[in-house]
Amino acid sequence: MAQVRKVIISCAVTGSIHTPSMSPFLPVTAKEIADAAVGAAEAGAAIVHLHARNPQDGRPDQTPAAFRAFVGDIRARCDAVINITTGGAPTMTVEERMQPALQLKPEVASLNMGSMNFGLFPMLQRFKEFKHPWERSYLEGTKDLVFKNTFADIEFVLKEGTSNGTRFEFECYDTAHLYNLAHFLDRKLATPPLFVQTVFGILGGIGTHPDDIGHLKRTADRLFGKDYLWSVLGAGSAQMKVASIAASQGGNVRVGLEDSLWDGPGALAKSNADQVRRVRTILENLGLSVATPAEARAMLQLKGRNEVGF
């Protein structure tokens, strides 16, 4: 009898894309973020991808202290792999974005694989009223913002993170980002197995058409062969569509309120766990099995939860 394929579910718990005004269910405080991450893990997420926020106004916060306020709590309450962002927010410097991963030494950190336009301003068409003054200007500012991830930036993050034994979730928003990753693989600054997170639906990156998904998979197959694990995330309403297409083609999946506030047409997701449960149902209906944190650690060859700095 054929062995059932294991699929890693990642959950991006809060992120920096959406603002608190957009959903009352977006976790902001340390307790809310910790509770949301644990809930996602209990629902089936093997990996929780984490950003931090200012608890007063929800502004993205990339200070190590902001992450320390919840990572230890999450680690004490569940076995999920903790993945700390080095993406932070597009308005931050790479040195600022790197500090939490540098000091906390997680098993996994995210790494954006190229500079790009990162257009969040279309959200202003849907959301008209905001609780905090920074929110509207933050979204409007992305009309004239380049999310800077130069080769020097990427090399800095790779060298600093690898020295701590941290492995990376390589976030690739377009075809060129896969070639950038291949460049660092050739230089042996990135090492297999690569955890390649292809991102669909951000304005400035590739779209969400099935051909777009197939194109990035074919490119990654050609560049990396058996040296990578493929995962996908679809932004906004494309979240479950992209996950379904990719899962049927051998992919792993990422969901969570960082990537989409929705749990069906016109219905806000009340928790990250809601989205994890929905995608888990899709996977199991496809005859697939959800990987446990221990299985994900083995698949990604991680250093283990006892080797982190928190």
Give the right CATH number for 6-307 from 3.50.50.60, 3.40.50.2300, 3.40.50.300, 3.20.20.70: 3.20.20.70
What integer pLDDT is reported at residue 1 of this predicted model?
58
Q: C-alpha angle with apex 92: 86 to 98, nearest 5 degrees? A: 30
DSSP letters for 115-180 = -EE-B-GGGGGT----SSHHHHHHHHGGGG-EE---HHHHHHHHHHHHTTT-EEEEEE-SHHHHHH
Q: Is the pLDDT of residue 284 over 80?
A: yes
Q: Using CA atoms in the order 56, 58, 64, 70, what is the torsion angle rounded to 10 degrees?
A: 80
Query: What value does the mean pLDDT take over residues 197-203?
Result: 98
> How confident is the model over 234-242, as a mean pLDDT?
97
Could you tell me which residues come within 8 angstroms of residue 16 by beta carbon, excluding any fewer than 6 positions away?
51, 53, 60, 87, 88, 89, 258
Spatial separation of the C-alpha atoms in residues 252 and 59, rounded to whole Å: 30
Instruction: Work out the pLDDT band at 223, boundaries 50, 70, 90.
Output: very high
Question: For the chain, how far is it from start to end, CA to CA, in angstroms?
Answer: 42
Token pair, residue 283, equals 């996977």
SS3 content of the chain, % helix, strand, coil (to 5): 45, 20, 40
87, 172 in Cβ contact below 8 A? no
**What is the average pLDDT across 133-140?**
96
Mean pLDDT across 210-223:
98
pLDDT at 3: 83
The size of the chain, in residues, is 310
The pLDDT confidence band at residue 266, using thresholds 50, 70 and 90, is confident
DSSP symbol at 24: T
Phi and psi at 144, nearest 5°, equal -130, 45
Domain boundaries, the chain: 6-307
Mean pLDDT on 63-83: 98
Beta bridge mates, 84: 50, 109
In angstroms, the CA 197 to CA 200 distance is: 10
Whether the full predicted model's pTM is greater than 0.85, yes or no, is yes
Residue 2 has pLDDT above 90, yes or no: no
Q: What is the mean pLDDT of residues 81-101?
A: 96
Q: How many Å apart are CA 100 and CA 51, to the nearest integer?
A: 10
C-beta of residue 155 within 8 angstroms of C-beta of residue 189: yes
Q: What is the crossing angle of helices 272-285 and 239-247, to 10°?
A: 30
C-alpha span between 293 and 310 (Å, rounded): 18
Short-list 46, 22, 50, CA closest to 36: 50
What is the pLDDT of the chain when averaged over all its residues?
Answer: 97
For 210, other C-beta atoms within 10 Å of its C-beta total 12
pLDDT band for position 264 (cuts 50, 70, 90): confident
Q: Residue 49 pairs with which residues in a beta bridge?
A: 12, 83
